[in-house]
């Protein structure tokens, strides 16, 4: 997608030159990235608390 955007907008000028649909796609891709990062953090926290709970249970 980035390559396609650079071909359309080679100077890297502002998003105002993108169509509303293209701008919406960029916004959604950014949101997906943020949600995936949040999901990864939650997965790591889940594992941490599971292992912490398991350690306390064996004492």
In the chain, how long is the greatest CA-to-CA distance? 63
- The per-type count for the chain, helices as H runs and strands as E runs, is 2, 0
**Looking at residue 32, what is its pLDDT?**
98
The whole-model pTM stands at 0.59
Residues 6+ apart with CB under 8 A from 17: 9
The two tokens of residue 5 are: 């955007």
pLDDT in tens, 24-52: 999 999 999 999 999 999 999 999 999 88
Compute φ and ψ for 42, nearest 5 degrees: -65, -40
Confidence check: pLDDT of 15 > 60: no
CB 9 within 8 A of CB 18: yes
Domain ranges of the chain: 2-57
Confidence check: pLDDT of 56 > 70: yes
């Amino acid at each position: 997608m980035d390559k396609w955007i650079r071909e359309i907008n080679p100077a890297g000028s502002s998003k105002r030159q993108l169509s509303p649909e293209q701008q919406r796609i960029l916004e959604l891709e950014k949101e997906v990235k943020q949600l995936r990062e949040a999901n990864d953090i939650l997965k790591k926290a889940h594992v941490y608390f599971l292992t912490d709970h398991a350690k306390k249970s064996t004492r």
